[in-house]
Every structure is written in structure tokens, then in C-alpha cells.
């Protein structure tokens, strides 16, 4: 197995709403349209997909379409190169309608970060510190 996560798919309640949030609010690039039934965003390394929640559950199999708990156990992080970009990206997300569930603050690991939730309550941490960046923008993890 090559070390690779190809896609992260978020099951969403309203594809149009989530498309607007990620495309217009956060500025993620895509040529796709909600009318296609699924939306892909080309990000560096991993593709972010939005797909209706019930259909995603159906794709896994019978019995998976159940209400989701507030905490999924999974967080996604967007790391920034400069400390003040944490505040900038959180402000961008808030302007796009995100709920800022944890204001930016110094972290115990020497960084600076905060969390927001997207329209479906999926958690994103915007973080600075601790990691260097590879040339492609990915984190340099030893």
C-alpha cells in the first residue's frame, strides 16, 4: 500500500450550502457543480469531496445511515506558514458562516491554533507552529 490518502469525503446535509462554504467562503478551487451530485476540490495531495450524507452512508452499505454524533472523532487541520494567518483564516471561515468553536490561542505544544466547524459541524483546526513545510505545502513530518 503506497502511503497515501487520496480523498476525504464529507457527508453533507445540503450539497449546495457546503459547496458555497468551501468554494466561495474558503476559496477552495473546483470546476465541479453541486448539480453533478458530488463536488471535488483539488487541494495539494488530498482531494476533498462533498457528498450527500445519506448517499455516502448508502455507499458504505445497508444500516450505515444513522444520525451522527456531534464529535466524529476526526479532525482536519489546515496548517499555515505564519502565526497571524491563523487569525486570518479563522476570520475568513467566520465570514463564510463557520462557527468558531475554539478561538485562536497558544497551544501546549508551542503552536497557535483555533477550531471552526463547517456547515455540517465537521471540525477544522487552523494551526501554526511545530512543523516545517515541504515544497508542495505539505508538512515535513519526520
Contact flag: residue 73 with its own copies (CB under 8 A): yes
Q: Find the binder of its own copies among 33, 75, 94, 95 (CB under 8 A).
A: 75
Contact flag: residue 100 with its own copies (CB under 8 A): no
Which residues on neighbouring strands pair with residue 139, listed in sequence order?
133
Nearer to its own copies, 73 or 110 (CB): 73
Residues 50/19, Cβ–Cβ less than 8 Å: yes
**Separation in Å, CA 42 to CA 31, 51, 73, 126, 131:** 9, 15, 24, 19, 23
Query: At residue 111, what are phi and psi to the nearest 5 degrees?
Result: -105, -160
* Residues at the site binding its own copies, with contacts judged by CB under 8 A: 1-11, 26-31, 40-48, 53, 56-57, 59-61, 64-79, 89, 92, 101-102, 115, 120, 122-123, 125, 127, 131, 136-139, 141-142
Amino acid at each position: 500500500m503506497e502511503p497515501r490518502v487520496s480523498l476525504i469525503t464529507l457527508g453533507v446535509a445540503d450539497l449546495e450550502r457546503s459547496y458555497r462554504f468551501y468554494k466561495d467562503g474558503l476559496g477552495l478551487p473546483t470546476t465541479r457543480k453541486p448539480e453533478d451530485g458530488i463536488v471535488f476540490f483539488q487541494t495539494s495531495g488530498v482531494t476533498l469531496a462533498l457528498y450527500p450524507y445519506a448517499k455516502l452512508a448508502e455507499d458504505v452499505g445497508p444500516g450505515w445511515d444513522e444520525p451522527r454524533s456531534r464529535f466524529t472523532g476526526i479532525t482536519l487541520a489546515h496548517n499555515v506558514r505564519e502565526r497571524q494567518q491563523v487569525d486570518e483564516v479563522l476570520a475568513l471561515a467566520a465570514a463564510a458562516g463557520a462557527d468558531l468553536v475554539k478561538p485562536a490561542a497558544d497551544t501546549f505544544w508551542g503552536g497557535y491554533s483555533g477550531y471552526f466547524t463547517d456547515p455540517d459541524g465537521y471540525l477544522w483546526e487552523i494551526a501554526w507552529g511545530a512543523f516545517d513545510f515541504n515544497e508542495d505545502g505539505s508538512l515535513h513530518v519526520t
